[in-house]
Amino acid sequence: MTIEMQRPRHIRFAAVSAACLAHLPELLATWLPDGRRVGNEWVARNPRRDDRRPGSFKINMRTGRWGDFATGDAGGDVVGLYAYLNGLGQIEAARELMDKLGVAR
């Protein structure tokens, strides 16, 4: 294994977050397909728990901040939301989103 292969790939969190916000309606429709836009928020059922109806799990469509007001789970950006939904760490989530959205390293 070369030294280059051992070095972790650089994560540009600001670029990943900006790319996510630019594509947020499409991303949320894919990640939370039972949700809908209500004003500046995406309102959906939380797939991480037995959530019977939309209402307490919301994502701000301008900032990417999100929260489940029934459980207290919350985050400040779309990378954190993706990590939460997929059971990933922030770095792994950011790397996956960089690849999916074509964010340069």
Instruction: Give the residue, 45 or 103, on which the prediction is more confident.
Output: 45
Can you list the domains of the chain with their CATH numbers? 10-101 (3.90.580.10)
pLDDT digits (tens, 9 = 90+) for 25-78: 999 999 999 999 999 999 999 999 998 888 999 999 999 999 999 999 999 999
pLDDT over 50 at 3, yes or no: no
Looking at residue 12, its pLDDT comes to 82
pLDDT over 60 at 5, yes or no: no
pTM of the model: 0.87
Strand-pairing partners, residue 60, are 41
Residue 83 makes CB contacts below 8 A (sequence gap 6+) with 75, 89, 90, 92, 93
Looking at residue 9, its pLDDT comes to 59
Could you give the C-alpha distances from 66 to 7, 73, 78, 81, in angstroms and in order?
Answer: 32, 8, 8, 7
DSSP states of 35-72 as a string?
A: -EEETTEEEE--TTTT--SSSSEEEETTT--EEETTT-
